[in-house]
């Protein structure tokens, strides 16, 4: 078992890079609690309250932003059945208790920056690196592929995750073309942090 007390493992990366699968694997096998974010998007099939999000209305979310309840929050412009919409995501300040647990969470770069401001050296971050062709193939295999939405995600990814900002903000870059190899590399890095720190 790999466990660093009072640590937050942040997984970030492009769309369809495998962030959620890696987070689930590490949480289930290495004693890290998954941070459950809030979202204003609708619940999907096979999802439930608290799995993988707390689902609230857009109005509730905006009210919580105004009350400064989030460590970090973000909004995404999206298409739902070819209709433009805005989805909000955020991590509530009450979601993390470092006195008792260590955590793993999926964030974008802006979320990572906010977590680093809030938790400083308690954060250990990983960027999951996969090329565009492989990511598109994975997205198609999910059976919910939409070319317009995919192109929007590519544009957002390339705007947010520039080489310069990744190198500046992220601790480790890990390729994910083989899930087990990627997961093992992350675990080995965490082990190194545990031994050295």
CATH for 9: 3.40.50.300
- Same domain for 18 and 80, yes or no, is no
- In sequence order, the 6+-apart residues with CB closer than 8 A to the CB of 181 are none
76/88 Cα distance (integer angstroms): 6
What's the predicted TM-score (pTM) here? Answer: 0.81
9 and 105 belong to one structural domain: yes
Are residues 13 and 88 both part of a single domain?
no
- Do 110 and 177 fall within a single domain? yes
Considering 95, 122, 146, which residue would you say is the last residue of a domain?
95
Q: Looking at 45, 63, 95, which one is the last position of a domain?
A: 95
Last residue of a domain, one of 66, 95, 124: 95
Do residue 84 and residue 166 come from a single domain? no
Per-residue model confidence (pLDDT) at position 173: 94
pLDDT, one tens digit per residue, over 43-99 is 988 889 998 899 999 999 999 999 999 999 998 888 777 788 899 999 999 999 988
Report the number of distinct structural domains present in the chain. 2
Positions of the chain with pLDDT lower than 50, given as ranges: none
160 lies in the same domain as 63: no
Residues 15 and 90 in one domain: no
Co-location of 118 and 139 in the same domain: yes
Nearest C-alpha neighbor of 14 from the set 109, 102, 90, 98: 109
Residues 81 and 20 in one domain: no
Q: Do 43 and 126 belong together in one domain? A: no
- Which backbone phi and psi does 16 adopt, to 5 degrees? 60, 30
The pLDDT value given to residue 87: 93
What CATH number should be reported for the domain holding residue 76?
Answer: 3.30.63.10
Range of the domain at 76: 36-95
Residue with tokens 């932003």: 65
Q: State whether 48 and 84 are in the same domain.
A: yes
Asked if 117 and 167 sit in the same domain, the reply is yes
């Amino acid at each position: 078992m790999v466990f660093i007390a009072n640590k937050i493992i942040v997984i970030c990366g492009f769309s369809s890079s495998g962030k959620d699968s890696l987070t689930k694997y590490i949480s289930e096998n290495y004693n890290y609690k998954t941070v459950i974010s809030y979202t204003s998007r609708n619940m999907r099939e096979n999802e439930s309250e608290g799995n993988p999000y707390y689902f609230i209305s857009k109005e509730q979310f905006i009210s919580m932003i105004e009350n400064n309840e989030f460590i970090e929050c973000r909004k995404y412009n999206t298409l739902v059945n070819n209709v433009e919409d805005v989805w909000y995501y955020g991590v509530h300040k009450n979601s993390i208790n470092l006195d008792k647990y260590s955590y793993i969470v999926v964030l974008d770069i802006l979320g990572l920056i906010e977590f680093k401001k809030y938790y400083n050296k308690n954060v250990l971050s990983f960027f999951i690196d996969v090329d565009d062709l492989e990511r598109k193939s994975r997205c198609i295999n999910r059976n919910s592929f939409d070319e317009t939405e995919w192109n929007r995600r590519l544009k957002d990814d390339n705007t947010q995750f520039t080489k310069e900002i990744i190198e500046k903000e992220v601790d480790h870059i890990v390729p994910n073309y083989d899930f087990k190899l990627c997961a093992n590399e992350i675990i080995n890095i965490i082990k190194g942090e545990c031994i050295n720190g």
